[in-house]
């Protein structure tokens, strides 16, 4: 039976301005410039430039009614009543009443710092490099298209990931070219044997390594033995069962060491040398700069990709023109409401950028205060246990806000460039009951592994004993977890000849 009822409940709802701020917070400096460009293209009332350049600016960016981000956006309707109620004083008040714009160099340190342009690198992709070599094969137009399809089916590592039958179908349906499995295999063989880099167009890692070894000149005894190892004992090789391989080939220690030396110099991913990464991934652009000035830690925010913004003077003049106009028909009122929307959006975006800078600085300063010893010395063992909640309590920000800042931002120090997430770690108790950072334990574990005898590497059990001797109360499974987080393989795979 269906019934209707009424009830009241409280809901927390984010305003459009709050959503915009949260999205801006998680954007790293490397991508902020692109985001600002998008906003400049979408909103003609927003433009680049310093508010202080225009002494006669009359648009107040610090409107008391809209300065906070916890209010809902005005619902603008194109009606005569609404147009009459537009308060022009909100838009025509002089900026100097409240000291002008806060969007200044104060957020970034000294205003004398240059903002050099980003370097532009010229790149050739792996696929372009292979396509440039197609001329060596002297193919007719039809076979040239087949070869292009083969090259286009390789991944960025240089491996062929499509079955030959699938390539035949792709050419038939996509290019209207009918071919055979034999013809495609023949072209694949030519690419494997003649194209640079060696090993490209292989199906598997084993085939990739064999292709590289077969291209080596001269074909010495060591190279032939290396081919035999990869061809006949590949599983034993990747598991480092060297003793078994050495007995099967009948090689002494010196000869076998030479064979392994040849193999480990091969490239398992021939396409990697030509891989083009996203600029934000290939270049780390720090969001913060932290320096030690005679014991005083100085923090500044990177403003390289954050151009100064202001409200368009042309749109402000349109508002003044409406104010002076005596005749206000429906078309003018609708135009006024459109202008108001754009001016509001511009103001909100500028306010959000300013709020972003403030939140970033506030969060980074709290991290510096918490990990002060590290920023003074650069010693990783001085890092204290710190979680997101610790910084949220100091800054009075939400944990999710601190998380957005920490996950995608970098800080440049005198000791290197670090991701903010690096400074967060859980606590581990020593035998004396003292809490230490898991980062400290990982650093010591890494030092122990780096100093081990690679002919007899330490097992996880031995590493656990050594850490416990140093006073760290830790289990073997935890040591294994930390070792994996450090990208260190098990003892057998760390063994060297």
Q: Give the DSSP H or E segment for 417.
A: strand 416-419
* Residue range 425-497 in CATH 1.10.357.10: no
Please state the domain extents for the chain. 15-68+77-96+280-373+386-418, 127-201, 204-274, 425-497
| Rg (alpha carbons) of the chain, rounded to whole number | 32
Residue length, the chain? 497
Phi, psi dihedral angles at 137 (to 5 degrees): -85, -15
Q: Do domains 127-201 and 425-497 have the same CATH topology?
A: yes
pLDDT of 432 reads 58
pLDDT value at residue 420: 87
Q: Within 13 Å, how many C-alpha atoms sit on residue 353's CB side?
A: 27
Q: Which residues of the chain have pLDDT under 70?
A: 1, 11-18, 20, 50-123, 275-282, 304-307, 323-329, 426-437, 497
pLDDT of residue 212: 93
What pLDDT is attached to residue 62? 39
What confidence tens digit (pLDDT) does each residue in 220-259 have?
999 999 999 999 999 988 888 888 898 888 989 889 989 9
pLDDT of residue 148: 92
List helix spans (H) across 180-329: 181-194, 205-214, 221-232, 234-238, 242-249, 253-264, 279-282, 313-324
DSSP three-state, residue 13: coil
Report which of 394, 424, 380 is spatially closest to residue 406, judged by C-alpha positions: 424
What are the backbone angles phi and psi of residue 241, rounded to the nearest 5°?
-85, 65
CB atoms near residue 30 (< 10 Å): 23
CA distance 452 to 488: 13
The answer to whether the beta carbons of residues 409 and 299 sit under 8 Å apart is no
Residue 44, pLDDT score: 81
Class at the top of the CATH hierarchy for domain 127-201: mainly alpha
pLDDT 10s digits, 445-471: 888 898 888 888 888 888 888 888 887
User: What is the per-residue pLDDT for 435?
Assistant: 58
d(CA 386, CA 389): 8
3-class secondary structure, 204 = coil
């Amino acid at each position: 039976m269906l019934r209707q009822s009424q009830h009241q409940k409280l809901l927390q709802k984010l305003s459009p301005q709050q959503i915009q701020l949260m999205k801006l917070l998680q954007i790293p400096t490397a991508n902020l410039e692109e985001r600002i460009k998008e906003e400049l293209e979408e909103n003609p009332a927003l433009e680049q430039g310093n508010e202080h350049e225009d002494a006669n600016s009359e648009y107040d960016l610090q409107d008391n009614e809209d300065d906070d981000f916890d209010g809902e956006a005005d619902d603008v309707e194109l009606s005569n009543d609404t147009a009459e109620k537009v308060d022009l004083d909100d838009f025509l008040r002089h900026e100097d009443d409240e000291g002008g714009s806060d969007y200044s160099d104060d957020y970034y340190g000294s205003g004398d710092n240059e903002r050099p342009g980003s370097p532009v690198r010229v790149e050739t992709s792996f696929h372009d490099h292979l396509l440039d070599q197609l001329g060596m094969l002297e193919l007719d137009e039809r076979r040239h298209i087949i070869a292009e399809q083969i090259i286009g089916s390789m991944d960025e590592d240089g491996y062929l990931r499509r079955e030959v039958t699938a390539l035949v179908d792709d050419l038939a349906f996509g290019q209207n070219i009918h071919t055979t499995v034999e013809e495609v295999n023949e072209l694949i063989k030519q690419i494997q044997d003649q194209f640079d880099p060696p090993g490209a167009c292989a199906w598997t890692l084993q085939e990739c390594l064999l292709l590289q070894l077969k291209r080596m000149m001269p074909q010495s005894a060591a190279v032939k033995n290396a081919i035999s190892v990869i061809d006949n004992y590949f599983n034993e090789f990747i598991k480092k069962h060297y003793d078994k391989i050495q007995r099967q080939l009948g090689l002494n220690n010196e000869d076998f060491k030479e064979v392994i030396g040849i193999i480990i110099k091969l490239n398992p991913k021939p396409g990697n040398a030509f891989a083009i990464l996203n600029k934000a991934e290939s270049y780390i652009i720090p969001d913060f700069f932290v320096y030690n000035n005679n014991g005083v830690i100085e923090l500044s925010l990177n403003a390289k990709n954050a151009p100064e913004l202001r409200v368009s003077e042309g749109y402000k003049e349109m508002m003044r023109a409406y104010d002076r106009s005596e005749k206000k028909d429906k078309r003018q009122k609708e135009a006024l409401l459109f202008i108001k929307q754009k001016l509001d959006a511009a103001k909100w975006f500028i306010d959000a950028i300013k709020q972003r800078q403030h939140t970033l600085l506030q969060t980074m300063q709290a991290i510096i205060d918490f990990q002060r010893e590290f920023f003074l010395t650069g010693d990783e063992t001085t890092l204290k246990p710190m979680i997101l909640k610790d910084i949220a309590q100091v800054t009075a920000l939400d944990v999710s806000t601190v998380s957005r800042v920490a996950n995608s931002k970098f800080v440049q120090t005198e000791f290197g460039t670090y991701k903010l997430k690096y400074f967060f770690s859980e606590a581990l108790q020593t035998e004396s009951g003292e809490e230490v950072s898991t980062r400290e334990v990982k650093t010591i574990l890494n030092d122990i592994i780096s100093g081990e005898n690679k002919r007899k590497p330490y097992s996880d059990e031995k590493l656990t004993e050594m850490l416990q001797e140093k006073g760290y109360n830790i289990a073997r499974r935890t040591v294994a977890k930390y070792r994996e987080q450090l990208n260190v393989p098990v003892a057998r795979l760390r063994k060297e000849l």
